[in-house]
Amino acid sequence: MKAEVEKVIKEIQPNLRADGGDIELIDVTEDGVVKVKLKGACAGCPFSMMTLKLGVERYLKTRVPQVKKVVVV
């Protein structure tokens, strides 16, 4: 599952980088929790949690059904 999540993160990165941010995959747990680190403009953005839940998490769940949630570490 981690390889699938990495592939999807790479698909998302250009969108975040266009706004001066980035995302780094830290870990994927066996129970479907994806741990990420937000970088650049995303790290301090007040909308980062909205981007994470409505954008990143939703997209990951669609592409990798085993994903249960995405958290920032």
Total number of domains constituting the chain: 1
CATH number for the domain harbouring residue 37: 3.30.300.130
The first and second tokens of residue 4, run together, are 């699938």
Range of the domain at 16: 2-72
User: Given pLDDT bands bounded at 50, 70 and 90, which one contains residue 54?
Assistant: confident
Evaluate if pTM is beyond 0.75.
Answer: yes
Residue 57 pLDDT exceeds 90: yes
DSSP states of 26-44? EEE-TTSEEEEEEEEHHHH
Residues contacting residue 72 through CB under 8 Å, at least 6 positions apart: 35, 36, 37, 38, 48, 49, 52
User: Given pLDDT bands bounded at 50, 70 and 90, which one contains residue 32?
Assistant: very high
Q: How far apart are CA 62 and CA 73, in angstroms?
A: 22
